[in-house]
Amino acid sequence: VFQLLDVDPNDQEEDGANIDLDSQRKGKCAVIKTSTRQTYFLPVIGLVDAEKLKPGDLVGVNKDSYLILETLPTEYDSRVKAMEVDERPTEQYSDIGGLDKQIQELVEAIVLPMNHKEKFENLGIQPPKGVLMYGPPGTGKTLLARACAAQTKATFLKLAGPQLVQMFIGDGAKLVRDAFALAKEKAPSIIFIDELDAIGTKRFDSEKAGDREVQRTMLELLNQLDGFQPNTQVKVIAATNRVDILDPALLRSGRLDRKIEFPMPNEEARARIMQIHSRKMNVSPDVNYEELARCTDDFNGAQCKAVCVEAGMIALRRGATELTHEDYMEGILEVQAKKKANLQYYA
């Protein structure tokens, strides 16, 4: 339904004009827009009570006369529906090593307002609307977001920044709008936007249509962040590797209030990460995780996990039944070699 119009029965027809009986009916008439973007004026609405209709409603019509037969439920973009994670993430906070401070900050900003809303109401404080997680790649940002979703009963919507960059004008903004509408309908819910820098870069003058479309998508995101109250059961978690190129409007208080930094893991954190990823492996008692951590000075969390995987493959290759300290040392050398090797691309 595009528009509803009132019919005035007192309007007089011009002398000599043909009398349209339908237009003389008392009540309302409607203007509808079809899926093919054609607009039709309906002097007679159809089988649905005009008082129950409002602009923007989705309706089913007769294919020939276009009379309204029924109202339809709200429709969301199928791509947004696909972003809803049906299977609950299985990650736990115990699966994350060396991020105790970051876990505490995320719990205070996201989990507590959703599970214990009354505590904030008793103190008279407003919880943060959203959280921005930033840091180098492989430091556990996405992993912590999944663990946070696992600790709540909220609907989890995962949006990737590159998915919101669309070809047609207004398409990316519509995805953002539909995602927030779906989150509000299914509240409590968490919207996780990964790779925020794909749509949240600083604004600049550009003649390219693609750059302007990205900026339109970001403006819609800013509008949606301003459009719901902090005490609602919809929370936003965003993650990026490049916080330095984000638009200042995204970073101001009132939108993504809590900023959480994810640094490279220290020696203690690296030892803990390798212990976590070796829990289900048959590991020899002589494995010294502290020594392994000292040998992985510039490794991130993902590379520490890769060391455990490589060590397992090395032990499997030699037909062993358990992983030894030497297997881990060889795994470190393998990951280090792949890290520093120059990749060659062939056309």
Q: Are residues 145 and 256 in the same domain?
A: yes
Average pLDDT over residues 317-342: 84
Average pLDDT over residues 7-31: 56
Last residue of a domain, one of 226, 261, 296: 261
What pLDDT was estimated at residue 271? Answer: 92
Distance CA 145, CA 149 (A): 6
What pLDDT was estimated at residue 204? Answer: 66
Distance CA 71, CA 38 (A): 19
Distance CA 21, CA 111 (A): 61
- Residue whose pair of structure tokens reads 């640094």 in the numeric block: 263
Asked if the model's pLDDT at residue 216 lies above 60, the reply is yes
Task: Count structural domains, the chain.
Answer: 3
Q: Are residues 201 and 250 in the same domain?
A: yes
147 CB neighbour count, 10 Å cutoff: 21
Among 9-13, 37-41, 209-213, name the one with the lowest average pLDDT: 9-13
Domain carrying residue 234? 79-261
What pLDDT was estimated at residue 10? Answer: 56
Q: Are residues 120 and 254 in the same domain?
A: yes
pLDDT digits (tens, 9 = 90+) for 218-238: 888 888 888 767 667 888 899
Residue 300, amino acid: N
What pLDDT was estimated at residue 310? Answer: 92
- Residue whose pair of structure tokens reads 């699966």 in the numeric block: 95
| Average pLDDT, rounded, for the chain | 80
What is residue 283's three-state secondary structure? strand
Inside any domain, residue 347: no
Average pLDDT over residues 272-299: 90
Average pLDDT over residues 179-208: 79
Q: Are residues 117 and 42 in the same domain?
A: no
Inside any domain, residue 29: yes
What pLDDT was estimated at residue 41? Answer: 83
pTM assigned to the model: 0.69
**In the chain, what percentage of residues exceed pLDDT 70?**
81
Higher pLDDT, 83 or 162: 162
Inside any domain, residue 346: no
Q: Are residues 126 and 241 in the same domain?
A: yes
Sign of CA dihedral 180, 182, 186, 192: negative
Q: Are residues 94 and 54 in the same domain?
A: no
Rg (CA), the chain: 28
Average pLDDT over residues 72-97: 67
Q: Are residues 132 and 178 in the same domain?
A: yes
Under a CB-based contact definition with an 8 Å cutoff, are residues 97 and 302 in contact? no
Inside any domain, residue 290: yes
Under a CB-based contact definition with an 8 Å cutoff, are residues 222 and 180 in contact? no
Last residue of a domain, one of 232, 261, 290: 261
253 CB neighbour count, 10 Å cutoff: 10
Core vs surface per residue 169-199: b (16+ CB within 10 A) or e: eebbbbbbbbbbebbeeebbbbbbbbbbbbb
Q: Are residues 89 and 174 in the same domain?
A: yes
Q: Find, among 209, 213, 208, 177, the residue nearest to 198 by Cα.
A: 213
pLDDT category at 291 given cuts 50, 70, 90 is very high
Asked if the model's pLDDT at residue 136 lies above 60, the reply is yes
Last residue of a domain, one of 71, 87, 116: 71
Instruction: List residues bridging with 246 in a β-sheet.
Output: 201
What pLDDT was estimated at residue 98? Answer: 84
What pLDDT was estimated at residue 231? Answer: 63
Inside any domain, residue 325: yes
Inside any domain, residue 137: yes
Q: Are residues 150 and 235 in the same domain?
A: yes
What is residue 239's three-state secondary structure? strand
Q: Are residues 124 and 154 in the same domain?
A: yes
Q: Are residues 160 and 229 in the same domain?
A: yes
- Residue whose pair of structure tokens reads 């791509």 in the numeric block: 79
> HSE-up of 72 (CA within 13 Å, CB side)?
11
Inside any domain, residue 345: no
Distance CA 156, CA 87 (A): 9
Residue 273, amino acid: I
Distance CA 256, CA 270 (A): 29
pLDDT category at 87 given cuts 50, 70, 90 is low
Under a CB-based contact definition with an 8 Å cutoff, are residues 52 and 59 in contact? no
Q: Are residues 94 and 222 in the same domain?
A: yes
